[in-house]
Amino acid sequence: QKEVEQNSGPLSVPEGAIASLNCTYSDRVSQSFFWYRQYSGKSPELIMSIYSNGDKEDGRFTAQLNKASQYVSLLIRDSQPSDSATYLCAVNAKYSGGGADGLTFGKGTHLIIQP
């Protein structure tokens, strides 16, 4: 059974600091990893995707993947109050388009950026 674990928080970070969000997954064959941001009452929006071990940077966001440890993280630099939201880690076991499986989501980490 695929499981994705996240600390539900809330995680409180001062404005301007680095927010670090962590996620572990149980399915060793997982190949695709995603971070979504969800504001209260809204649907998730994609922040980052990562498929290979190592770091991937996009603006203030850096995703880190360690398949050996089954661990994926998201770093947010120069945190802003507008970054306050729930961050969902999502995992899919199939990388290619041959499968049409939906994603397995973690419960999300509630991040609060304090002004």
Q: Which of 44, 74, 84, 111: binder of other proteins (CB under 8 A)?
A: 44
Contact segment (CB under 8 A) with other proteins among 12-20, 57-65, 66-74, 88-96 equals 88-96
Residue 69 and residue 90 in contact, taking contact as beta carbons nearer than 8 Å: no
* Burial (CB count within 10 angstroms: exposed 0-12, middle 13-18, buried 19+), residue 2: middle
Name the token pair of 51: 């498929």
Nearer to other proteins, 41 or 115 (CB): 41
Asked if residue 32 binds other proteins (CB under 8 A), the reply is yes
Asked if residue 54 binds other proteins (CB under 8 A), the reply is no
> Around Cβ 20, how many Cβ atoms within 10 Å?
15
Nearer to other proteins, 72 or 88 (CB): 88
**Helix or strand holding residue 113 (H, E):** strand 109-114
Q: Which of 29, 43, 54, 69: binder of other proteins (CB under 8 A)?
A: 43
Task: Identify the three-state secondary structure at position 14.
Answer: strand
Q: Which of 26, 46, 57, 58: binder of other proteins (CB under 8 A)?
A: 46
Q: What Rg do the C-alpha atoms of the chain give, in angstroms?
A: 14
Residues forming the site for other proteins (CB under 8 A): 32, 34, 41-46, 49, 51, 88, 92, 94-97, 99-108
